[in-house]
Amino acid sequence: MAIPAYASWMLAQEARALLTRLARVKPFAMQEPMLPAASLLPETQTAIELVLAKGRRELRSRTEVYLRWLRSPAALAADAEEAHRRFVFLRLRFNAVLNKFDLFNDVITQRSENEIGVWLSGLDVVSADALALPGGYYRAPPVICYLDRGMGAAIRRARTRLPGGAENPVAVIRVPRERMIGHGIASSLIHEVGHQAAALLDLVNSLRPLLQGLQAAAGPTRVAWQFWERWISEIVADFWSVARVGIASTLGLVGVVGLPRPFVFRINGNDPHPPPWIRVKVSCAIGRALYPHPQWDRVEALWNAYYPLTGLDPAQRGLLVRLQDHVPGFVALLINHRPRCLHGRSLIEVLDIEKRQPARLQSLFMHWRRHPARMYRAPPSLVFAVLGQARHDGRLSPEDESRLIGKLLNHWALRSTLDVAAVCARRSFQASPPQPLTSIRSRGHHG
């Protein structure tokens, strides 16, 4: 039974309407105004535009195939139900692919905001520096940042699947607007960078079998190893953050997970995040192992004063105490882990922690006070580590910290833009070097 003429006409009209809406989806380079210093790096912009262009071509092709089917002899053997079913799946695919555009639209549109756009570009530079790992262990993807409401950050990792099935070409980090701008921004940002680094090194998959083996042989501590396995993805990201920015990471974490008491002590078996009470203690233990200093004991004592265990259910309290006692052994296993991708080296060895020891950070801060220009030439993640240490030590006020970080983000964004412009100019020059002046004169131009 053929499709009724009215149904065929209506569905064709709807499919053509999809094509008209698709034609309105323009490349970002054609519609998003922004300061050059706020713009994405060419590699990032190109990767995003290519994946979106591929999605637009796919939708156009699918829609045109559907329209041809409606006019083909095959449609004579179909009915209205089948024709509509095909259109419904086409429209669902259409919306799924356009969700990719909306994802990147949220990211790129903010680049046109006054001041915020340039700061975001600066955060891109910080993220790239925090993700870089000398030694050729992985090829880091581009990272772009944007702001959103809420207290926690989040990441859509590169090389994961986007709505519609395409592979995400860049890592997209959502930064809490309330963290702009102070040392807390580094804690949230680099924690999310840690998720990307862990994926590139396959850390979670290499740690999980080890933790599962310990569960089988641990006896009384089996429950603790079960929890560490459940929480390992978040703990690895916290480890990366502490390794990169030191005490600034733990202080920023305290600012995020400092919640009403019921939330701080709650243990949810389905949540990949450790309960905040334990998570802060793990962060302090990581800091103590990487960067030995009395400051970690002071921060942990302060956390205990904020959230004493008094008044908890005895079973809940007992479990938290057992986990707390187990933290040092777990952290030792973590920092000395030697995944296959590191070619026999441990995490603590490849992250070059000597440059971020507290005494070194304190010395750099005093040196930069006398020679501030040198701070602007230092790696951004190291700068955040120094400023976080100075903030903890009481040598940098919140007001001065915010002003300074704003200037630094502007500088990193501008420097990145000028560096890229210089590279492009150099490549253009090498591709078509200018002719000598004598050659120009020989063309017979006579004044």
CA 110, CA 173: separation in Å to the nearest integer? 13
Determine the distance from the C-alpha atom of residue 348 to the mean position of all C-alpha atoms in its chain, rounded to a whole number: 22
Helix 222-245 crosses helix 247-257 at what angle (to 10 degrees)?
A: 120
| C-alpha to C-alpha distances, 154 to 11, 114, 126, 136, 145, nearest whole angstrom | 40, 24, 16, 26, 10
Per-residue model confidence as pLDDT tens digits over 328-363: 999 999 999 999 899 889 999 998 889 899 999 999
pLDDT score recorded for residue 430: 56
Residues paired with residue 174 on neighbouring β-strands, in sequence order? 146, 154
pLDDT at 185 (0 to 100): 86
Give the pair of three-digit tokens for residue 206: 């290499």
Report the C-alpha gap between 122 and 125 in whole angstroms.
5
Helix (H) or strand (E) holding 171: strand 171-176
* Collapsed DSSP state (helix, strand, coil) of residue 309: coil
Supply the pLDDT for residue 242.
97
The CA distance from 435 to 125, in Å, is 37
Contact 250, 295 (CB under 8 A): no
Tokens coding 124: 């891109």
Q: What is the pLDDT of residue 48?
A: 76
Q: Which residues of the chain have pLDDT under 70?
A: 1, 28-38, 100, 102, 163-164, 179, 181-183, 218, 220, 420-447
Which residues face 167 on adjacent strands? 161
Predicted structure pTM score: 0.82
Q: What is the pLDDT of residue 34?
A: 60
Q: Virtual CA dihedral for 402, 171, 151, 395, nearest 10 degrees?
A: -30
The answer to whether the CB of 62 falls within 8 A of the CB of 54 is: no
Query: How far apart are the C-alpha atoms of 354 and 361, rounded to whole Å?
Result: 10
Element (H, E) at 365: helix 358-370
pLDDT of residue 440: 35
* DSSP state letter for 155: E
Strand ordering across the sheet containing 154-156 = 143-148, 171-176, 154-156
The whole-number pLDDT of residue 335 equals: 93
SS3 156: strand
Structure token pair of residue 6: 């009215």
Rounded Cα distance between 390 and 384, Å, is 10
Q: Give which of 274, 317, 275, 282 is closest to 300, Cα–Cα.
A: 282
DSSP 267-292: --TT-SSPPHHHHHHHHHHHHHHHS-
So what's the pLDDT on residue 438? 43
